[in-house]
Amino acid sequence: RRLRLLRALVPRAHRRCRDDGVAEMLGNWECHCLPPATQPGGPGVAAAAECVLTGECADRTISEVCTSVGQTCRDPDAAVAGDWLCECVAPSMGASGMAAAGTCMLDECGTDCPTCAGTTCTAAEQECVDANQDYLAAGLRTWECRCVAPLSGWATAAAAGCREDECGMYGSTCTAQDQDCEDPDSTVAGDWECVCRAPGAGRATAAAAMCVVDECVGNAGVCTSAGQTCVDPHRTASSLGDWECRCAAPSTASAVAAAAACDVDECTLYGAVCTAAGQTCVDEEPSADGGWVCVCAAPLEDVREAGAAAACTLDECVVAAEGSAVPAAGMPNVCVSAGGQTCTDPATGAGSRGDWECRCAPPSTDAAVGAAAAQCTYDECS
């Protein structure tokens, strides 16, 4: 087919605007055609340039395949059909597309372009990174200046305000103790901290922390549900499993890692009731409330009443004079050994002593009071 050299005002992707940037000179901006288009009439001053495309690229339908994605159309051989290319427009770079859009990218860190970093990062002794190399609008001015360790910080399309990363410099002091490093204010020197990891608690500035591991934080419910108090006697990471449940006073019982069996000696609370009566307090059921009693001192006998002083008695017929025990077998009682007399203690109160009697057997009515047998007589005339 016959190919002709066509002249057209081609789409905007084939043109670029240039300005000298002098504020005093306005209206002198120029519009230049981009290769492979040519501009026979020169650049357009404050107006669009008249650009010329050749071959298949002169067909607007074909050229717009390229210009719609910011690329330029070039036909390397006007005599060959279907060999037109979409090429990247500087400063973007990439592979051309045969009869299709090319794969273009724009690394704004390494290319001289209006949106590129240029020397912004290097002048600040920082690293330039362009993670989004899309050459279209969405990827422009996405480059970053990043601070170099041990400094930290970054900024998009500008030099970063770098801060001293003290945890990067001193963090090993913390990690060596299984702790975390935190720098609360990167603008302040020497304020980095070592912070304990759970379940430990504690922090220290510019040094490893002394971590407190209070096991009662997680186990107190075991104790409180039984009316007891949780205590961790050694709150360090090296001493685990030694927390205790301790009973409420007056009980002193405790148990490790479990609820305690609280036995309360109630005589420590109520013993004064007994001692005031000359008696002894005994808690017969330490595991139960109200099990304490007062016990009379020997040789007195007692009628015990829980929670009160006992009623003490002394039957002197059961106890010999001077408080000796009842004579054992072979050692006859004073009254019995005197001819079958009967011992009687008319008053058994604890304060009534020496009033026991030996009473003669009937029909004699004689009796003797205290520590001696009676002289039994019987008047047969009566």
Residue 326 has pLDDT above 70, yes or no: no
- Kindly report whether the global pTM for this prediction surpasses the value 0.75: no
Residue whose token pair is 């899309």: 134
pLDDT band at 319 (very low <50, low <70, confident <90, very high): low
Long-range contacts, stretch 124-131, CB < 8 angstroms, 24+ apart: 124/159, 124/160, 126/159, 126/160, 126/162, 130/106
Residues facing 201 on adjacent strands:
212
Q: Which of 263, 348, 340 is nearest to 311 (CA)?
A: 348
Residues facing 195 on adjacent strands:
180, 203
pLDDT digits (tens, 9 = 90+) for 181-201: 998 887 788 899 999 998 888
Lowest mean per-residue pLDDT among 80-84, 236-240, 336-340: 336-340
pLDDT digits (tens, 9 = 90+) for 6-47: 333 344 445 677 777 666 677 788 887 776 676 666 777 878
Element at 275 (helix H, strand E): helix 267-275
SS3 of the chain: helix, strand, coil, percent, to 5: 15, 25, 65
Residue whose token pair is 């759970």: 198
pLDDT digits (tens, 9 = 90+) for 125-168: 999 999 999 988 888 899 999 998 878 889 999 999 888 778 88
More confident residue, 363 or 232: 232
